[in-house]
Structure 1
């Protein structure tokens, strides 16, 4: 499909210019969500895809109860925060991309965490000017002000049809009754075991006698159930003010954090215009800053627009995809940050001229050394996150990516609340030029400032056309963007949704200058050929990512959904009633 785009560059330039004018501003328009269709002939099968079967079922139950896609997404996200405590939760934040079928309109809800007012550019530097890595990633000092509770309240109030008391009910029950430990839980817990042991409340909840629990052990979170209940009954104030907020502040300060009552009370989500780029009849809709994902994804597609890439053999195609990744990630490192604090040149980055200039530097016969492109070293966020995709019977869609950064976030749970806090402050550049928890380096555009939102790679995406609509996204830190890119290319080649989520993965992020890949992505001959082109290869030693995707074929009114086979997720299509 993209090969034909070469004939449409004039249209692309016009469309990019128009849509990017919209992307530069935030909005606070709270138009009512769609009115349910009474025309049963226009109804389509609904579907939910998420990283855990219990969360998927929670969403399906809400759809069956008359909820719309937003209601279902709230139920899924809340459940994931309970049964996937290593991935997300009300102690974290995320990005929500919504599509209103009745208005043919997209909305983007930025529920990213914010730096507390006490934070500043040198917040994590010691007396010698060195980054205190422990303080930046462990305990409440590493936590930004959570955005997830505000997202639930905002989405329910403005775009849902059911009250939070109903959409959060499944998560509340799961927190109170408990869920069974599985091997995935045990695996992620291994990354943060020693840190969880440092905080008695976290150890009490998530460990079994201070050790990794056995498969089948029940994790119960009654305090979290109470906090979710307060949020369900009182909305925003149930978390950010009153008894829950007071307990959070007491525990955060007692353990070395710097939150204030105003930090919590003043937190609000921001509605931003999503990035929208038209390629003929095809529209790509994705995340704007402070996500870097949408810009990088569209830049890569713009560069591919200059090639008939589908016809290339495996090695030249991998080489080309690597080179466009390299250049998009280079721009990510140089220019991106919170648009409310940093001027992000969105129009320049997504213009056809930028793609054309980058393409001139691509040599199909050899790899480009990243440092020859100059610019900043890259920085990115956490490697464990979660994603959900939902479509309802009216064709309304939600693509949401949620995170607490590292597995189990900061590893700190505020006693009396059940809230496991994020460590998203490490997504800032603690010191420009110094590496974060992943050995990656940031720049001034992403320096810490009070109230600022850290740069993210979360890339919830919808690809829409008169014939089909695709909803996709994934966790995976810096690899999120390349995974969504590769998944989107599968869709653009007409492959089934199962192929998007299961295709072998590789990644290049400008620096370190190497192709990272899953163990079985390349054959021995392909590895040798890529190395002959000058690429360094790094087998990461494990599968990565956990994509959740939905495809609606409008011509046949058929919906298909798939959960990444690398995870424990479940995707299910709900037939028409």
Structure 2
């Protein structure tokens, strides 16, 4: 029997996070250690079960560092920051201190779920026509590889704030393993080489990127050792002085100069437009503490990230639409049909209503209301599909069963990004998604600092998404671009049940909904829900689907209903943790997507 669940969200009280001048690290951190050949890479395990805490990320080096942090008495937050810093070394094309993200935390002592919005901001010089020239929007590729696309990074400030709120270790101690990893190096795998190859042309046009990522002028070979001594030195400086050099000192000065005067190689024919970021933009950056989104789904409480991310509202609305159907009793075709239609509708509403709440009146509470979800759910027919793009509903004035089409287009978001999930022995849990946007970000490395700059501002709408309709996601000074990142924590009876998230641009939202419904409705274990083939419907005429999804017999039934598909090689790279009876944890990652992830626990058990 399915019961309607009440839906509530605390009002999004926005609290600015001032950057307090940090004290010196309690643990001495010197310069980067001399390079040594690393041992063979840690093993990649997709699933691990045991006690004492759990870590899941896309990378075995990062996961190992997180487990060691937990074993040394660190909290879930200490381990999460350590993992994130390590991913900045081994996953530099997806994340790093040149970007931003969203940090969701469950406190075992208070039972509260809290979030940090560490999203990048547009510089003060940005205007609505940031990506418009001569009355026409720039091509996406031209916008990405430019100073125009670079937002003020929020990752370093996020780490400092999270550690201050929920950590037991200081930034210096937490950064030391990643600093050593950057100096010592890691073994290049096929994924790293392939991602470098996809960026080779861009990297060759920027001397600092070419020097770092194309050692000797060539692609790094699989099995070779990749070192980043400049990043080791940067981490050492942050370890000693905290984020101040990044936002108020020499690192910030180098960032602003790179954005305003992109260093293009002599002879390169690429046009790279400068951006308007200044040192003042960096000094004025603040993280924001936001109330999480919250919906009750089945017997669980699902918490996510409120706007400026669209993840929490869109995941929550889709779950509310599905709440009226007993998906555990539905056959597979009905389940998948309703899942695809629910995300189609929630994306229509996301694209119309969600933006930075400091600049737009975002109806967050209403988007998460069951009344609004019911007005959208009744549009779903069992034997036909809604013509896409579906027009948005009005969450403040819901009208039941009013189907309309729209001329809206799906805004593009880069499919890169990374996600990590951590739990400690006390039951504290972190779900953290961070990114530099496109694989390889803007393509521009800060000279001598060892990290790429993001292209997050291309997440803004270049021009209004729907002609004649106000767009809450146009650029503006100090504004945060809308994101699809969906770090999620699920509680049952007030205790952690599971946490998850994924990279994947706009497919992040649909992947999280599919894994949640697979786990909570369809009787799958968390590893099974992560492994199952995926499809992603985002209010477009055709649904993106993995080859494995298209090979299923049920896909024929979906086509008969009216669904059409286009193949996507892979969708997302989920990581998650789940608490089992008896205090054990299961850590789960992808067995194959993005080269496979890495899951581990502090004390393994059968």
Give the TM-score normalised by structure 1: 0.90
Question: Which residue of 1 is the match for residue 588 of structure 2?
Answer: 562
SS in 2 for 1:471: strand
Sort the Cα spacing of 1:71 and 1:242 in 2 relative to 1 into closer, same or farther, 3 A.
same
Q: Distance in 1 between matches of 2:515 and 2:285?
A: 34
In the TM superposition, residue 563 of structure 1 has moved relative to its aligned partner by 1.2
* 2:533 pairs with 1:507: no
Q: Report the CA distance shift for 1:371/1:434 in structure 2 as closer, same or farther (over 3 A).
A: closer
Q: Distance in 2 between matches of 1:130 and 1:543?
A: 29
Say if 2:124 and 2:478, in contact at 8 Å, map to a contact too: yes
- 1:94/1:147 contact within 8 Å kept: yes
SS in 1 for 2:136: coil
Q: Does 1:123 align with 2:130?
A: yes
Distance 1:184 1:488 in 2: 27
Question: What is the CA–CA distance in structure 2 between the aligned matches of 1:130 and 1:547, rounded to whole Å?
Answer: 33
The answer to whether 1:194 aligns with 2:201 is yes
Q: Are residues 1:57 and 2:85 paired?
A: no
Measured in 2, the distance between the counterparts of 1:518 and 1:324 equals: 19
Mapping 1:461-500, distance limit 5 Å: 461-466=488-493, 469-493=497-521, 494-500=523-529
Q: How many residues align?
A: 545
CA distance in structure 1 between the partners assigned to 2:228 and 2:125 by the alignment: 30
Instruction: Report the CA distance shift for 1:430/1:378 in structure 2 as closer, same or farther (over 3 A).
Output: same
Q: Give 1:447's aligned residue.
A: 474
* 2:179 is aligned with 1:172: yes
Contact 2:123 2:151 in 1 (8 A): yes
User: Are 1:260 and 2:270 counterparts?
Assistant: no
CA distance in 1, matches of 2:110, 2:564: 48
1:386 aligned onto 2:404 = no
The answer to whether the 8 Å contact 2:121/2:152 transfers is: yes
- Residue 104 of structure 2 aligns to a residue whose secondary structure is strand
Q: Distance in 1 between matches of 2:177 and 2:134?
A: 48
Unmatched 5+ residue regions in structure 2?
Answer: 19-49, 263-273, 391-403
1:422-433 equivalences under 5 Å are 422-433=454-465
Please tell me whether the aligned partners of residues 128 and 476 of structure 2 are also in contact (alpha carbons under 8 angstroms).
yes
Deviation, structure 1 residue 222: 1.5
Q: Select between 395-404 and 304-313 the one with higher mean Cα deviation.
A: 304-313
CA contact (8 A) 1:51 1:570 kept: yes
Q: Which has the higher helix share?
A: 1
Distance apart, 1:396 and its partner CA: 0.3
Indicate the residue corresponding to 1:251 in structure 2.
258
Residue of 126, 130, 143 corresponding to 1:136? 143
Q: Which residue of 2 aligns with 1:25?
A: 13
> Does 1:183 find its partner at 2:209?
no
Q: Counterpart of 1:111?
A: 118
In 1, the alpha carbon distance for the partners of 2:524 and 2:562 equals 31
Deviation digits for residues 474-509 of structure 1, max 9, x if unmatched? Answer: 101111011111111122144222112211101100
Distance 1:126 1:395 in 2: 52
Give the equivalent residue in structure 1 for 2:452: 420
One of 141, 158, 166 as aligned partner of 1:159: 166
The answer to whether residue 574 in structure 2 is matched with residue 547 in structure 1 is yes
Q: 1:37 maps to which residue?
A: none
Contact 1:125–1:132 (CA<8 Å) still a contact in 2? no
User: How far, CA to CA, are the matches of 2:251 and 2:370 in structure 1?
Assistant: 49
Q: Distance in 1 between matches of 2:237 and 2:57?
A: 25
Q: Report the CA distance between 1:443 and its aligned residue.
A: 6.4
Rounded Cα–Cα distance in structure 2 between residues aligned with 1:486 and 1:312? 15
Query: How far is 1:123 from its partner?
Result: 1.3
Alpha-carbon separation, structure 2, partners of 1:273 and 1:56: 28
SS at match of 1:278: strand
**Residue 330 of structure 1: SS of its match in structure 2?**
helix
Tell me if the contact between 1:230 and 1:239 (Cα under 8 Å) persists in the aligned partners. Answer: no
2:341 paired with 1:315: no
Tell me the distance in 2 between the aligned counterparts of 1:433 and 1:465: 38
Normalising to structure 2: TM-score of the pair? 0.86
Distance 2:104 2:487 in 1: 6
SS at match of 1:62: helix
> For 1:453-472, what per-residue CA distance to the aligned partner results, in whole angstroms no more than 9, with x for missing partners?
01000000011103761010
Aligned residues of 1:393 and 1:576 also touching (Cα < 8 A): no
Once residues 134 and 336 of structure 2 are traced to their aligned partners in structure 1, the CA distance between those partners, rounded to angstroms, is 46
State how far apart, in whole Å, the 2-side matches of 1:499 and 1:140 are. 42
Does structure 2 conserve the Cα–Cα contact (< 8 Å) formed by 1:126 and 1:132? no
Spell out, residue by residue over 1:208-247, the C-alpha distance to the aligned partner (whole angstroms, 9 max, x if none).
4433221023222222111111211211202112221222
| Alpha-carbon spacing, 1:524–1:231, altered in 2? closer, same or farther (3 Å) | closer
Please state whether the residue corresponding to 1:486 is helix, strand or coil. helix
User: Residues 468 and 164 (structure 1 numbering): CA distance in 2 closer, same or farther, change over 3 Å?
Assistant: closer
CA distance, structure 2, for counterparts of residue 433 and residue 282 of structure 1: 35
Distance 1:130 1:575 in 2: 54
> Who is 2:442 aligned against?
410
Please state whether the residue corresponding to 1:356 is helix, strand or coil: helix
Give the Cα–Cα distance (whole angstroms) in 1 for the partners of residues 458 and 217 of structure 2.
26
**Alignment match of 1:396 (pick from 410, 413, 428):** 428
Distance 2:524 2:332 in 1: 17
List per-residue Cα deviations over 1:98-152 (Å, max 9, x = no partner): 0110011111000000001111111121124332534420033311010001111
SS in 2 for 1:575: strand
- Unpaired runs of 5+ residues, structure 1, are 31-42, 436-441
Distance 1:225 1:546, change over 3 A: same
Quote the residue 2:99 is aligned against. Answer: 92
Kept in 1: contact 2:16–2:287 (CA 8 A): no
The alpha-carbon distance between structure 1 residues 102 and 407, as it changes in their structure 2 partners (threshold 3 A), is same
Partner residue in 2 for 1:33: none
Change (3 A) 1:119 1:492: same
Change (3 A) 1:423 1:155: same
CA-CA distance at 1:378 after TM superposition = 2.7
Choose 106-115 or 294-303, whichever is displaced more.
294-303
**In structure 2, distance between residues paired with 1:509 and 1:177:** 43
Secondary structure, in 3 states, of the residue corresponding to 2:105? Answer: strand
Between 325-334 and 206-215, the greater mean CA deviation after superposition:
206-215
